[in-house]
């Protein structure tokens, strides 16, 4: 019996909850801690994974090329992520206040190492509740929202693939399913036929 011939049951992938741009802003606005705000803004502004933002080093910030160096990302690959001007501005304010040496976001337990994934999760959920966002969201929802909002603004799916560090374009194309119909600015071919018919009259 050839096990390879048995059809595999395709796991249904549910659409995750996505933040609206207004909800992302509300999350930032309710944040009353500079370090926490920097973490949230970096997660969204660069589309980072939880482990990636936690392990950022000060030396990973390249303000000349406006990019973040992400070392040993998923699949043990290094990549560069987007560094927005707003992100850079708040990181500079944060650096002047905290003067971090090696790790960008240190643990507050005086361990001398970077913030833990659990600590990032805890602060994220604290501000989601504070902002009264009633959605089933996780830290990874910031990355989903980053990709979806870029697509909505017209950014190429191939550029987004590179920014997210996806090895397979099909992973990035998943975000196409999350786009709202009205944001596509596409007309049905039926309407186009109707317009042609009217033009002929």
C-alpha span between 184 and 7 (Å, rounded)? 35
Are the beta carbons of 130 and 40 closer than 8 angstroms? no
Catalytic residue chosen out of the listed positions 57, 126, 130, 140? 140
* Residue 140 among the catalytic residues: yes
* Residue 143 among the catalytic residues: yes
* Residue 166 among the catalytic residues: yes
Cα 85 to its chain centre, rounded Å, is: 16
Contacts of 47 (CB under 8 A, 6+ apart): 81, 82, 142, 143, 146, 147, 150, 163, 164
Selection from 49, 53, 40 nearest residue 74 by Cα: 49
Q: What is the DSSP string of 116-161?
A: PHHHHHHHHHHHHHHTT--S---THHHHHHHHHHHHHTT--HHHHH
Catalytic residue chosen out of the listed positions 44, 94, 127, 175? 175
Catalytic residue chosen out of the listed positions 57, 71, 74, 126? 74
* Residue 125 among the catalytic residues: no
Catalytic residue chosen out of the listed positions 114, 143, 144, 149? 143
Catalytic residue chosen out of the listed positions 35, 49, 79, 144? 49
* Active site amino acids: 49, 74, 140, 143, 166, 175
């Amino acid at each position: 019996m050839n096990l390879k011939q048995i059809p595999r049951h395709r796991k249904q992938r549910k659409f995750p909850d996505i933040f609206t741009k207004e909800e992302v802003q509300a999350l930032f606005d309710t944040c009353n801690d500079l370090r926490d705000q920097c973490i949230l803004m970096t997660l969204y502004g660069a589309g980072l994974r939880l482990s990636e933002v936690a392990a950022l080093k000060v030396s990973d910030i390249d303000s000349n090329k406006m990019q973040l160096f992400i070392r040993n990302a998923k699949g043990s690959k290094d990549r560069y992520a987007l560094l927005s001007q707003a992100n850079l501005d708040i990181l500079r304010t944060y650096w002047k206040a905290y003067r971090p040496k090696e790790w960008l976001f240190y643990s507050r337990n005086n361990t001398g190492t970077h913030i833990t994934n659990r600590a990032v999760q805890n602060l994220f959920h604290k501000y989601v509740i504070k902002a009264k966002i009633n959605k089933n969201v996780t830290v990874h929802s910031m990355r989903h929202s980053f990709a979806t909002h870029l697509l909505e603004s017209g950014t190429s799916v191939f550029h987004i693939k590179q920014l997210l560090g996806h090895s397979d374009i099909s992973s990035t194309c998943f975000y196409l399913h999350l786009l709202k119909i009205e944001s596509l600015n596409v007309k049905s071919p039926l309407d186009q036929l109707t317009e042609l018919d009217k033009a002929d009259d």
